[in-house]
A and B are shown apart, each in its own frame.
Chain A
Amino acid sequence: MNKQAMVIEDDYDASVIFAKALEVLGLEVQVSHDGAEALELLADVVPDVIVLDLHLPNVVGTQILQQIRDDERLMDTRVIVATADPRMADSIKPQADLVLLKPTTFSQVRDLASKLLSVPRSQSKRQEAFDR
Chain B
Amino acid sequence: MEVLNRLIDVRSTDPEDARRRKLLNLLLMGVAGITLVALLVTTLAVVFMPGAMDDAEGVTLIYGGSLAMLLSLVVIYLINRSGMGAVASSVFLVALTVIFAFSDSASQVAEGRSLFLFTIPIIMASVLLQPFASFILATLCSAVISTISMTLLDAVPTIPAILGFYIVALVSWMSARSLERALSDLHVINRELDQRVIDRTHDLAEALSRVQTESNKNQAILESIADGVIVFDQSGKAIVANPSIAMLIDRTQDEITGCDIEALMGNEVSPENREMLSGVVRGKGMGDYGTKFEWGSKTFSLSFATVQGSASESIGTVVVFRDFTREAELDRMKDAFMSMASHELRTPLNAILGYSDMLKEGVYGAMSAEQSSTLDRIIANTRRMLNLVNNLLDQAQMQAGKLTMHMSSFSVGSLVDELQSIMFILAEQKGLQLDCSIAEDVPPQVVSDPQRLQQVLVNLMGNAIKFTDQGSVSLNIKCPDQEHWALEVVDTGPGISEDAQTYIFEPFRQVDDSQARRHGGSGLGLSIVKQIVSLLNGQISLSSRVGQGSRFLVTLPLTGTEES
Q: Could you say which of B350, B358, B361, B449 contacts A14, with CB atoms under 8 Å apart?
A: B350
B466 within 8 Å of A by Cβ?
no
Chain A residues closer than 8 Å to B509, beta-carbon distance: none
Q: Could you say which of B343, B357, B363 contacts A84, with CB atoms under 8 Å apart?
A: B343
CB–CB B358/A17 < 8 A: yes
**Least CB distance, A23 to chain B, in whole angstroms:** 9
- Given the known interface contacts A24-B363, A101-B451, the answer about A13 and B347 at a Cβ–Cβ threshold of 8 Å is yes
CB–CB A103/B386 < 8 A: yes
CB–CB B563/A103 < 8 A: no
Chain A residues closer than 8 Å to B350, beta-carbon distance: 13-14, 102-104
Chain A residues closer than 8 Å to B351, beta-carbon distance: 11, 13-14, 17
- Contacting A at CB under 8 A, from B50-73, are none
Smallest Cβ-Cβ distance to A105: which chain B residue:
B357
Chain B residues closer than 8 Å to A106, beta-carbon distance: 354-355, 357-358, 361, 363
- Contacting A at CB under 8 A, from B396-414, are 406, 408
B346 within 8 Å of A by Cβ?
yes
B353 within 8 Å of A by Cβ?
yes
Chain A residues closer than 8 Å to B349, beta-carbon distance: 103
Total chain B interface residues with beta-carbon distance under 8 A: 20
Chain B residues closer than 8 Å to A110, beta-carbon distance: 361
Distance A87 CA – B405 CA, assembled complex (angstroms): 9
A86 within 8 Å of B by Cβ?
yes
CB–CB B406/A107 < 8 A: no
A44 within 8 Å of B by Cβ?
no
**Least CB distance, A114 to chain B, in whole angstroms:** 13
CB–CB A86/B353 < 8 A: no
A90 within 8 Å of B by Cβ?
yes
**Least CB distance, A4 to chain B, in whole angstroms:** 20
Smallest Cβ-Cβ distance to A110: which chain B residue:
B361
A20 within 8 Å of B by Cβ?
yes
CB–CB B363/A90 < 8 A: no
- Given the known interface contacts A90-B563, A106-B361, the answer about A14 and B354 at a Cβ–Cβ threshold of 8 Å is yes
Distance A130 CA – B417 CA, assembled complex (angstroms): 34
- Contacting A at CB under 8 A, from B355-372, are 355, 357-358, 361, 363
Distance A110 CA – B363 CA, assembled complex (angstroms): 11
**Least CB distance, A57 to chain B, in whole angstroms:** 14
Chain B residues closer than 8 Å to A104, beta-carbon distance: 350, 354
- Given the known interface contacts A13-B354, A106-B354, A107-B357, the answer about A20 and B363 at a Cβ–Cβ threshold of 8 Å is yes
**Least CB distance, B346 to chain A, in whole angstroms:** 7
**Least CB distance, A126 to chain B, in whole angstroms:** 24
- Contacting A at CB under 8 A, from B327-360, are 343, 346-351, 353-355, 357-358
Chain B residues closer than 8 Å to A105, beta-carbon distance: 353-354, 357
Distance A24 CA – B449 CA, assembled complex (angstroms): 34
Chain A residues closer than 8 Å to B343, beta-carbon distance: 84
Distance A24 CA – B363 CA, assembled complex (angstroms): 8
- Given the known interface contacts A87-B406, A101-B451, A107-B361, the answer about A17 and B354 at a Cβ–Cβ threshold of 8 Å is yes
Chain A residues closer than 8 Å to B386, beta-carbon distance: 103
Chain A residues closer than 8 Å to B406, beta-carbon distance: 86-87, 90
- Given the known interface contacts A90-B563, A101-B451, the answer about A84 and B346 at a Cβ–Cβ threshold of 8 Å is yes
- Contacting B at CB under 8 A, from A1-32, are 11, 13-14, 16-17, 20, 24
**Least CB distance, B476 to chain A, in whole angstroms:** 26
Chain B residues closer than 8 Å to A90, beta-carbon distance: 406, 408, 563
**Least CB distance, B433 to chain A, in whole angstroms:** 25
CB–CB A103/B451 < 8 A: no
- Contacting B at CB under 8 A, from A84-132, are 84, 86-87, 90, 101-107, 110
Q: Type the 1/0 row for B520-546, where 1 means its CB is closer than 8 Å to any CB of A.
A: 000000000000000000000000000
- Contacting A at CB under 8 A, from B366-397, are 386
Distance A14 CA – B352 CA, assembled complex (angstroms): 10
Smallest Cβ-Cβ distance to A87: which chain B residue:
B406
Distance A107 CA – B343 CA, assembled complex (angstroms): 22
Smallest Cβ-Cβ distance to B406: which chain A residue:
A86
Distance A86 CA – B347 CA, assembled complex (angstroms): 16
Smallest Cβ-Cβ distance to A18: which chain B residue:
B354
CB–CB B363/A103 < 8 A: no
CB–CB A103/B361 < 8 A: no
Q: Could you say which of A11, A16, A24, A107 contacts B347, with CB atoms under 8 Å apart?
A: A11
Distance A17 CA – B351 CA, assembled complex (angstroms): 8
**Least CB distance, A16 to chain B, in whole angstroms:** 8
Q: Could you say which of A17, A102, A107 contacts B355, with CB atoms under 8 Å apart?
A: A17
Q: Type the 1/0 row for A48-84, where 1 means its CB is closer than 8 Å to any CB of B.
A: 0000000000000000000000000000000000001
Distance A87 CA – B563 CA, assembled complex (angstroms): 10
CB–CB B451/A86 < 8 A: yes
Distance A84 CA – B353 CA, assembled complex (angstroms): 15
Chain A residues closer than 8 Å to B358, beta-carbon distance: 17, 20, 106
Q: A90-B563, A106-B363 known; 15 other A-B pairs, CB under 8 Å? A: A11-B347, A13-B354, A14-B354, A16-B355, A24-B363, A86-B406, A86-B451, A87-B406, A90-B408, A101-B451, A102-B350, A105-B353, A106-B358, A107-B357, A107-B361
Of all A-B residue pairs in the complex, the 10 with the closest CB atoms, nearest first, are A13-B351, A17-B354, A103-B350, A106-B357, A105-B357, A106-B358, A86-B406, A106-B354, A86-B451, A107-B361
20 CB < 8 A contacts A-B = A13-B351, A13-B355, A17-B354, A17-B357, A17-B358, A20-B358, A20-B363, A84-B346, A86-B406, A90-B408, A102-B350, A103-B350, A103-B354, A104-B354, A105-B353, A105-B354, A106-B354, A106-B355, A106-B363, A110-B361
Which residues of chain A have a CB within 8 Å of any CB of chain B? 11, 13-14, 16-17, 20, 24, 84, 86-87, 90, 101-107, 110
